[in-house]
C-alpha cells in the first residue's frame, strides 16, 4: 500500500503517545490498519481521510533508551525505513517530560534527511498547559500542541500535513502513480450569526442565502434550535449557524434576552467567525455588549453588523429635518417636504455611529464594522469579503524570521515595562499556534509585561501582518540560559 498515497510517518521515543496518535488519526476516519512484518520492529500502516483527501499513516514504534548499543542503530533503522516514502515526518514528544536528549537526537537525525518534519507535543490536555510546549521551539521545527487521546489540536496537525502533501500529490498524479481524484474541497467557513432577539439575524441569513441562489440545505443542529445553512459563494463554502428564533409564546422579554445569550455562547463554540448583529435604530445595548464579550472571550474572529441601517438613516434625516424646521420657526415638517435637510451628511452619521460603537465595545476594537440592511439587501454584499478576511487572518502563520525582524526593526522595545515599571527585554518571538494567532515571547524576566505595552504590541502586529478581525494572544516565557553539562568542562 506504500507509495500510492502521501505518507505521514510518526516517530519518537517510547511512551510519548505515538500509537495513541496513530489510532486517533486512523480509527476515527474508519481506516484499515495492517501490520507489515519482516523488520526488527513492526511498522503499522493505516489510512486516514481528511478534508476529502486520503493519506497514509505509518507508526514506526519506539526506541529503547536503556539499550545504549541499539539506540543509534534503531534510530537510523526507523528513519531509513520510514523516510523512503515519507512526505512528512511527525516527531511526537511528551509535554509533561519536557525536551529530553533523546528527543534532540531524533530531531537532529530527522533534519539530516532533508525531509520536512513537524513536532507534535502530546499530552497537552488543557489550554493552560499549552505553554509547556514552548521549550520544543528550540528544535526549530513547527510545533503543534495536541492531546492525542482526546483529539485536541489534531485538526491543526492534519491541516499542516495537507499543506505539505499538495505538491507531493500533484507530482504523483503527473507520474501516474496516484488516483486522479485527489483535489479536495476546502472546508466550509463556520460562521455564527449572534445577537439579541429581533435585530434581524434570520433576515440576514435569508438575505445571504437567497441573493446567491445557491443550494441551501437545512441541517438539524446539535444545540437547541440552532439550524445550519450551507451556502456556496464564488467557489467558497460557508456554514452559517443561525442562533435566531428563540422567542416563545408566553416568554417574557427578559427570558428571551437570556436565551439569546445562551444561544450565542453555543453558536460560538462551533464557529470560526462570529457575526454580531446590532440594531442600527437602537444602538449598542447592555445585551449586545454581553454577547460581544462572550465572542471576544471565545477567541473567535468577529465582524460587527449594524443592521437596519436604512431605517437608522431615515430616522436621523427626519430628526435633522425637524431641527432645521424648528430653526426656521416651524413646528413640524410640512407635508411633501423632503427628508434630506440641506446640511445632512450620511457619511458623517456613519462615522459618528462607528465612533460610538468603538467606545462601547472597546474590547472588540479589532472587529471590522459593516452597515447594511438585511431586509433590502443594501450593502449586504460587503459582508462576505469581511468574513473571508477574518478567516484568513485567523489561520495565518507568520514565519519566525519575519516576526523577529519586525520586533527588531519596527517595535520600540524601550516601551516594554512590567506593572512595576521595570524594563523588559523581548529576546525572541515565534508563533505558537493559529485560530487565534498566538505568539510566544521569551523575555529577560518573569514579571508580566504591562497590559498597555501588550496592547501596543498587538496593534503594531496587526498593522504589519494584516490580522483583521481576529483576536491575538501572547504567551510570555522567561528565557532559560543554557546550562553547561559536566562533559563540556575542559
Q: What is the pLDDT, as a whole number, of residue 54?
A: 83
CATH 3.30.300.20 maps onto the chain at: 400-478
pLDDT digits (tens, 9 = 90+) for 329-368: 655 544 444 445 556 788 899 999 999 999 999 999 999 9
CATH 3.40.50.2300 fits 400-478, yes or no: no
Overall average pLDDT of the 171-188 stretch? 46
Q: What is the pLDDT, as a whole number, of residue 247?
A: 36
pTM of the entire predicted model: 0.61
Percent of the chain with pLDDT over 70: 70
Is residue 193 within 8 A of residue 241, CB to CB? The reply is yes
How far apart, in whole angstroms, are the C-alpha atoms of residue 424 and residue 443? 7
* 325-345 b/e (C-beta count within 10 Å ≥ 16 → b): beeeeeeeeeeeeeeebeebe
CATH 3.40.50.300 maps onto the chain at: 7-174, 189-394
Read off the pLDDT band of 412 (50, 70, 90). low
Residue partners of 330: CB distance under 8 A and separation at least 6: none
Read off the pLDDT band of 49 (50, 70, 90). confident
Overall average pLDDT of the 71-83 stretch? 57
Q: Provide φ and ψ at 67, rounded to 5°.
A: -90, 90
- Count of alpha carbons within 13 Å of 45, Cβ hemisphere only? 17
Q: What is the pLDDT, as a whole number, of residue 227?
A: 53
Q: Which three cell numbers stand for residue 75?
A: 534510530
Alpha helices in 113-150 (DSSP H): none
**CA 302 from centre of chain:** 12
CATH 3.40.50.720 fits 7-174, yes or no: no
The residue among 340 and 202 whose pLDDT is bigger is 202
Q: What is the pLDDT, as a whole number, of residue 472?
A: 96
pLDDT digits (tens, 9 = 90+) for 101-138: 889 888 888 888 888 999 999 998 766 566 778 889 88
Top mean pLDDT of 34-43, 50-59, 448-457 is at 448-457
Q: What is the pLDDT, as a whole number, of residue 332?
A: 54
Nearest to 111 by CA among 2, 4, 3, 11: 11
Residue partners of 445: CB distance under 8 A and separation at least 6: 418, 422, 424, 478
Q: What is the pLDDT, as a whole number, of residue 362?
A: 96
| Fold of the domain built from segment(s) 189-394 | Rossmann fold (3.40.50)
Amino acid at each position: 500500500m506504500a507509495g500510492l498515497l502521501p505518507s505521514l510517518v510518526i516517530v519518537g521515543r517510547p511512551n510519548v503517545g505515538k500509537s495513541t496518535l496513530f489510532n486517533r488519526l486512523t480509527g476515527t476516519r474508519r481506516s484499515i490498519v495492517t501490520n507489515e512484518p519482516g523488520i526488527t520492529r513492526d511498522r503499522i500502516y493505516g489510512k486516514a481521510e481528511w478534508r476529502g483527501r486520503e493519506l497514509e499513516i505509518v507508526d514506526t514504534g519506539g526506541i529503547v533508551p536503556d539499550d545504549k548499543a541499539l539506540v543509534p542503530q534503531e534510530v537510523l533503522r526507523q528513519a531509513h525505513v520510514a523516510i523512503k516514502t515519507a512526505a512528512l515526518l511527525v516527531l511526537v514528544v511528551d509535554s509533561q517530560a519536557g525536551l529530553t536528549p533523546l528527543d534532540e537526537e531524533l530531531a537532529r537525525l530527522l533534519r539530516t534527511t532533508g525531509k520536512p518534519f513537524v513536532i507534535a507535543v502530546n499530552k497537552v490536555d488543557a489550554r493552560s498547559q499549552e505553554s509547556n510546549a514552548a521549550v520544543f521551539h528550540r528544535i526549530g521545527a513547527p510545533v503543534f500542541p495536541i492531546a492525542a487521546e482526546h483529539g485536541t489540536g489534531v485538526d491543526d496537525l492534519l491541516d499542516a500535513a495537507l499543506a505539505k502533501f499538495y505538491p507531493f500529490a500533484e507530482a504523483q498524479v503527473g507520474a501516474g502513480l496516484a488516483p486522479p481524484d485527489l483535489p479536495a474541497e476546502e472546508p466550509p467557513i463556520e460562521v455564527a450569526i449572534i445577537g439579541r432577539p429581533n435585530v434581524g439575524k434570520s433576515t440576514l441569513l435569508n438575505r445571504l442565502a437567497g441573493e446567491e441562489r445557491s443550494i441551501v440545505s437545512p441541517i438539524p443542529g446539535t444545540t437547541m434550535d440552532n439550524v445550519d445553512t450551507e451556502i456556496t459563494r464564488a467557489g467558497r463554502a460557508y456554514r452559517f449557524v443561525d442562533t435566531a428564533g428563540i422567542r416563545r409564546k408566553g416568554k417574557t422579554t427578559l427570558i428571551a434576552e437570556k436565551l439569546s445569550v445562551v444561544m450565542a455562547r453555543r453558536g460560538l463554540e462551533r464557529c470560526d467567525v462570529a457575526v454580531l448583529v446590532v440594531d442600527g435604530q437602537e444602538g449598542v445595548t447592555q445585551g449586545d455588549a454581553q454577547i460581544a464579550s462572550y465572542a471576544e472571550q471565545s477567541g473567535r474572529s468577529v465582524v460587527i453588523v449594524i443592521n437596519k441601517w436604512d431605517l437608522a438613516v431615515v430616522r436621523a434625516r427626519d430628526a435633522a429635518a425637524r431641527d432645521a424646521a424648528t430653526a426656521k420657526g416651524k413646528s413640524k415638517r410640512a407635508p411633501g417636504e423632503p427628508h434630506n435637510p440641506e446640511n445632512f451628511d450620511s457619511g458623517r452619521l456613519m462615522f459618528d455611529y462607528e465612533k460610538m460603537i468603538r467606545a462601547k465595545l472597546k474590547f472588540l476594537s479589532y472587529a471590522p464594522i459593516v452597515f447594511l440592511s438585511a431586509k433590502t439587501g443594501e450593502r449586504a454584499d460587503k459582508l462576505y469579503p469581511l468574513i473571508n478576511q477574518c478567516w484568513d487572518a485567523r489561520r495565518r502563520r507568520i514565519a519566525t524570521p519575519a516576526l523577529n525582524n519586525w520586533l527588531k526593526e519596527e517595535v520600540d522595545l524601550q516601551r516594554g515595562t512590567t506593572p512595576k515599571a521595570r524594563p523588559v527585554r523581548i529576546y525572541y518571538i515565534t508563533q505558537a499556534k493559529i485560530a487565534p494567532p498566538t505568539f510566544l515571547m521569551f523575555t529577560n524576566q518573569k514579571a508580566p509585561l504591562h497590559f498597555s505595552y501588550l496592547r501596543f504590541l498587538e496593534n503594531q502586529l496587526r498593522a504589519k501582518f494584516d490580522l483583521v478581525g481576529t483576536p491575538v494572544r501572547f504567551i510570555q516565557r522567561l528565557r532559560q540560559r543554557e546550562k553547561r553539562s559536566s562533559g563540556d568542562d575542559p
